Structure formats: C-alpha cells, structure tokens
Amino acid sequence: MNHLNKIGLAELKALKENYQGNLEEAQKKLEEGYPIQYLIGHVDFYNCKIKVNENVLIPRYETEYLVEKTIKLLKTKNLKTGIDLCTGSGAIAIALKKNLNIKIDACDISNLALKIAQENAQKNNTNIFFFKKDILTEEIEGKYDFIISNPPYIKENEYTSPETKYEPSIALYAKDNGLEFYKKIIEISPNVLNKNGIIIFEIGATLGDEIKKIALDTYPKANIIIEKDYNNFNRFMFIET
C-alpha cells in the first residue's frame, strides 16, 4: 500500500515543502514506520512551530490538551514562575511562555535535545532559560510556583507503537514500572516549590492511582485531580500542595 495515500493533504503538502529527499525515499521510510513528523522536520503545537528530529520526542496531541488545561489553571491561581522538567523539544515551556506572562525555566539531561529546545524558543520569540540537569541525581536550584513535566513513563517491557523505535528511548522509558521520574519529582518538589505550589504531570494511563499515593505520602493534604485525555484515558494530574 502506498503510505503517501494514507496521510492527510496538509501533511503531504508539508512533506513536499520540507523533506529534502525524493518522495519515493519518503514512501520507503513511512513503510518502515518512520514518523512523518521527522521527515517534515517540525510539528504545529498549540500555535507554535516546533522543530523535531530523532534527538527529541515528537510532541503529542494529548500534550496540547495538557498545555490548554495548564494555562487555565495558572491564570486562575495567578502563578507566575515555573519549571519544565524533562523538556525535550521545549514544546510545553514554549507554549506556556507564548500564551502567559510568566517566567519559566526548563531542563533536560540531553544536550542534543536542549539544542533543539533553544532553537525552538528563539524561533517562537520566547525567552526561556534552558539548562542541562539529570533530575534523578542532581539538585534543582531555585524556587518556583509550579513544576510541569511530561517525563518518561513507559514501562521497560511495555508494547509501544512502531514509530517509537525511532524516538530517543531516554525520553520514553522509565524504570520502576514507569514510576521512576514521578517518584523523584515528587521527592524533590518540597525544595523546588514555593508555598502552595502545584505539580502538573502528563501521566501513563495506568499509573494515576500509584502516583496519587506517592504524592499523598509527601503532601497528605494535597488536592489531587486526575483528568482524562480526548480518548478517555487518565492522562493529566494536578497536585495542589
């Protein structure tokens, strides 16, 4: 089957405009499960144009929904400073900064990802401080009103769609049955958050109850809300400490 016939007109147009090789080569890559977003070289994400390549995870539609919900929450709570942990392409931080009058920093363990994130911030006219940090082993300096993160959460033996084999595994998989990063972020959060701060997560669909228990161990009085994505899967968690 011709995979070029299966993609939408907008994607086909973008592919023709942006892909440097010929369409026969693109067809072969698509047949192998290669993500069309990498062939095009960018994605549209919450009114931002985000460059992507094999060094960063492709921002998903669900994550746009997280940004939408977060913007409403930050406006309601009047929160002005935040940090995006495991930022990858920078999509979340950039979209928030572009739509809100806030100060936001962002970090990642990958220098290659940070290079893409910085380029994306510049192209979208957003002033964000990016820095390298292994949040599992290194302390976060500074205090913020909120933490937001879409960390690696796929279990190491969990089935994934074919295209994920082309994405950076470091951005996808987590130890401890997918809980590794959630545990660490919650553990360090008292030293990172200002009083009455908020933690905002994108979560694995089956991990909500376990993450909630972990959060309540640190914040027994927290107001914790789990919300669903467009496919009715548990996908977002808001921890009001």
Q: Which of 147, 135, 229, 231 is nearest to 190 (CA)?
A: 147
pLDDT in tens, 162-207: 778 899 999 999 999 999 999 999 999 999 999 999 999 999 999 9
Matching CATH number, 61-240, of 2.160.10.10, 3.40.50.150, 3.40.50.2000, 3.30.420.10: 3.40.50.150
Contacts of 63 (CB under 8 A, 6+ apart): 45, 91, 92, 150, 202
Helix (H) or strand (E) holding 111: helix 111-123
Q: What is the mean pLDDT of the chain?
A: 93
The percent of residues above 90 in pLDDT, for the chain, comes to: 81
- Listed in order, the ranges of the chain carrying CATH 3.40.50.150 are 61-240
Let me know how long the chain is: 241
Range with the poorest average pLDDT among 15-19, 30-34, 123-127, 229-233:
15-19
pLDDT in tens, 74-122: 999 999 999 999 999 999 999 999 999 999 999 999 999 999 999 999 9
31 touches 51 (CB < 8 A): no
Phi (first) and psi of residue 236, to 5 degrees: -130, 140
- Cα–Cα dist 163/37, whole Å: 10
The DSSP code for 166 is G
Whole-number percent of the chain with pLDDT over 70: 96
Query: Is 50 exceeded by the pLDDT of residue 2?
Result: no
